[in-house]
Amino acid sequence: LLLEGQSIACVSDAGMPAISDPGADLVIKAIEAGITVVPLPGANAALTALIASGLDTKSFAFAGFLPKRGKHRVGELQR
């Protein structure tokens, strides 16, 4: 569709497309094909949580989502 000149939207069910999301692969392929990618800022789970936390927002890091399994999740938090 994009190569035919049509527009599409990439929507994520949690956060923003392409941030810790397979949408990043679509963006890379589009750019490689010479297609302009236009992000539309909106709700973002990580930023919303940061803002509501009361933590200092001058600097922060997002390391992706925690693993679903208990022991892997605990290991990642301990790391």
Which among 63, 79, 66 has a CA at the least distance from the CA of 19? 63
**Strands (DSSP E) along 1-79, which ranges?**
none
Q: Where are the domains of the chain?
A: 2-78
Cβ burial, residue 16 (10 Å; 0-12/13-18/19+): buried
- Under the banding of pLDDT at 50, 70 and 90, the label for residue 15 is low
pTM, full prediction: 0.59
Q: What is the mean pLDDT of residues 57-79?
A: 86
